[in-house]
């Protein structure tokens, strides 16, 4: 048997569906850290994020035959976690909302490295107050290293909207972080 | 042991816990994959539903045009027309268009394109198709024979009364 580590997610999914469901453990190993981190950025609570990810893995398994292996598995599983996290948020309603139409000075030039540094070091403090519409694409882009196209597939919004939200989010993040200093 | 190490150990334990919990459910059969046919049937049903809705919307739009043309929206007759017009036809046509557009939103392409444009194109296509059927006179033939005749016979239920009755009649 070929080394499972070298197989792509989509190839493993094919094997799980047709031959060996134990390989689902491999998928869980590959994704659980990233998904918990992602869910934590959305929900803002590690335990709830873990619960959401666990539920997402179960839903993904139940619907595995509905996944089109020509598409990216990662976008599919992130989408499921997104839905699960949003459902959890709706249940708890504890998000602090910012007006998404606030006019920020878009002329500010912000270094990507600065954004990444801010996100990693003080991410929770700054991100918690940011609207989810901006927080999510920002964490997907900088923390999860997803492309605009993947973010578009995960959030189901046009790529142009992804770009706009990330740019706005950078400005908002800088303002929030500077205020908190 | 430092707090960081304790935190890492706790997280490691939680990770293993998630994996074990899920795999236990998977291997015991408590959690089962839905079969392939379930998704195939779902896709076919939603596609057939979408096509059916669009065809239905074209038909009902055409029926609306047909009734308007038969009755003629002439000045002074609009009230008479509104009184007797089978309003369920255009209302159902609009409902089908809205439902069809909502179903289109379920498809992957809907968020990659400008969906407002897609929706406008669908509405225009439905109206144009209905107009073409009207111009080709297909509805006239359907009104005379065939299984669709009864829809067009609705016309007889609201025939407009002449505005000026002959003087010699009582």
How many beta-carbon pairs under 8 angstroms link A with B? 63
- Domain A4-92 carries which CATH code? 1.10.1740.10
Distance in angstroms (rounded) separating the CA atoms of residues A153 and A176: 28
Tokens of A65: 């035959």
Q: Enumerate the residues of chain A whose CB falls inside 8 A of the CB of residue B27.
A: 21-22
pLDDT single digits (tens) B17-58: 889 999 999 999 999 999 999 999 998 998 999 999 899 899
Would the CB atoms of A62 and B31 count as touching at under 8 Å? yes
- pLDDT band at B161, cuts 50/70/90? very low
Distance in angstroms (rounded) separating the CA atoms of residues B150 and B148: 6
> Across residues A89-113, what is the average pLDDT?
55
Q: What is the mean pLDDT of chain A?
A: 83
Establish if B33 touches chain A: CB-CB under 8 angstroms: yes
Residue B106 in contact with residue B53, Cβ under 8 Å? Answer: no
Establish if A31 touches chain B: CB-CB under 8 angstroms: no
pLDDT single digits (tens) B53-93: 899 899 888 888 888 877 665 555 556 666 666 778 888 88
Distance in angstroms (rounded) separating the CA atoms of residues B83 and B158: 8
Establish if B144 touches chain A: CB-CB under 8 angstroms: no
- Domain A112-180 carries which CATH code? 1.10.10.10
Within this chain, do residues B18 and B98 fall inside the same structural domain, yes or no?
Answer: no
> CA of B105, closest CA in chain A: separation in Å?
10
Distance in angstroms (rounded) separating the CA atoms of residues A88 and B149: 53
Largest Cα–Cα distance in chain B? 112
> Across residues B141-145, what is the average pLDDT?
76
Residue A24 in contact with residue A62, Cβ under 8 Å? Answer: no
Distance in angstroms (rounded) separating the CA atoms of residues A135 and A129: 9
Distance in angstroms (rounded) separating the CA atoms of residues A33 and A45: 14
Assess whether pLDDT exceeds 50 at residue A106: no
Distance in angstroms (rounded) separating the CA atoms of residues A71 and B17: 29
Would the CB atoms of A53 and B21 count as touching at under 8 Å? no
Establish if A75 touches chain B: CB-CB under 8 angstroms: no
Within this chain, do residues B76 and B101 fall inside the same structural domain, yes or no?
Answer: yes
- pLDDT band at A51, cuts 50/70/90? very high
Largest Cα–Cα distance in chain A? 58
Residue A54 in contact with residue B18, Cβ under 8 Å? Answer: yes
Domain that holds residue B12: 1-32
Within this chain, do residues B20 and B47 fall inside the same structural domain, yes or no?
Answer: no
Within this chain, do residues B54 and B112 fall inside the same structural domain, yes or no?
Answer: yes
Within this chain, do residues B91 and B142 fall inside the same structural domain, yes or no?
Answer: yes
Assess whether pLDDT exceeds 60 at residue A34: yes
pLDDT single digits (tens) A82-98: 999 999 988 876 544 44
State how many domains chain B has.
Answer: 2
For chain A, which residues make up each domain, given as ranges? 4-92, 112-180
Q: Residue A175 has what pLDDT?
A: 81
Would the CB atoms of B34 and A63 count as touching at under 8 Å? yes
User: Which whole-number Å values give the CA distances from A14 to A19, A20, A59, A64, B157, in the listed order?
Assistant: 8, 9, 17, 9, 60
Distance in angstroms (rounded) separating the CA atoms of residues B115 and B123: 12
């Amino acid at each position: 048997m070929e080394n499972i580590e070298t197989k792509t997610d989509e190839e493993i999914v094919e094997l799980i569906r047709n031959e060996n469901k134990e390989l689902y453990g491999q998928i869980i190993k590959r994704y659980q850290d990233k998904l918990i981190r992602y869910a934590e950025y959305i929900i803002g609570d590690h335990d709830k994020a873990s619960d959401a990810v666990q539920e997402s893995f179960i839903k993904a398994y139940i619907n595995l035959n509905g996944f089109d292996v020509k598409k990216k598995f990662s976008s599919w599983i992130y989408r499921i976690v997104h839905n699960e996290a949003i459902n959890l948020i709706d249940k708890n309603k504890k998000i602090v909302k910012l007006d998404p139409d606030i006019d920020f000075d878009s002329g500010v030039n912000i270094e990507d490295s600065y954004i990444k540094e801010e996100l990693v070091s003080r991410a929770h403090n700054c991100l918690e107050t940011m609207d989810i519409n901006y927080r999510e694409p920002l964490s997907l882009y900088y923390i999860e290293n997803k492309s605009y196209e993947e973010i578009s597939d995960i959030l189901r919004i046009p790529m142009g909207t992804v770009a706009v939200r990330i740019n706005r989010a950078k400005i908002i993040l800088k303002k929030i972080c500077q205020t908190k200093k | 042991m430092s707090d960081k190490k304790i935190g890492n150990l706790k997280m490691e334990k939680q990770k293993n816990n998630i994996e074990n919990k899920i795999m236990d459910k998977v291997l015991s059969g408590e959690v089962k994959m839905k079969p392939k046919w379930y998704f195939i049937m779902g896709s076919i049903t939603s596609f057939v539903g979408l096509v059916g809705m669009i065809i239905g919307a074209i038909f009902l739009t055409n029926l609306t045009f047909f009734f308007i043309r038969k009755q003629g929206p002439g000045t002074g007759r609009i009230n008479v027309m509104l009184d007797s017009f089978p309003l369920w036809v255009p209302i159902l046509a609009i409902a089908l268009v809205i439902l069809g557009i909502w179903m289109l939103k379920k498809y992957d392409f809907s968020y990659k394109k400008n969906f407002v444009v897609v929706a406008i194109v669908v509405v225009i296509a439905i109206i144009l198709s209905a107009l073409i059927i009207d111009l080709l006179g297909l509805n006239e033939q359907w009104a005379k024979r065939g299984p669709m005749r009864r829809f067009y016979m609705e016309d007889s239920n609201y025939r407009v009364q002449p505005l000026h009755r002959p003087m010699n009649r009582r």
